[in-house]
Amino acid sequence: MSEKYRGDGIGNAITEYLMETALKQTPNIYLIATKLGFPVYQKLGFKPDEEYIFYKPHQLTLPVSSNIKAYKPEYKKHILKMNKEFSGEERELLLNPKLKDNFVY
């Protein structure tokens, strides 16, 4: 958002509306905040839960493993179980939209 509009409550109003909408469908809301956005979310009651580190790929070319396969629905329960073991989080709603067009190893 342009600095010209910062502090006008626009981000807060948008976030409150999205929270109301989301909470009609689910009891929990998770988000990943930027350093700039974090104070806005904190004022609305969000609390830090996990810290994420994002990997930015380089221009490295490696041979592709034959163990990499296109996702199939029968992999879903195993992926969700493994994800829960690693993250400690129930993230089915987060992962479902991303599974279809991805690959597994």
The series of mean pLDDT values per 10 residues for the chain, 105 residues long, is 74 88 90 86 89 76 83 93 88 88 87
Here the tokens at position 56 are: 């930015």
Here the tokens at position 104 are: 């597994």
Distance CA 99, CA 94 (A): 10
Instruction: Give the other-Cβ count within 10 Å of 41's Cβ.
Output: 20
pTM exceeds cut of 0.75: no
Cβ pair 46, 12 in contact under 8 A = no
Cβ pair 18, 44 in contact under 8 A = no
Distance CA 35, CA 39 (A): 8
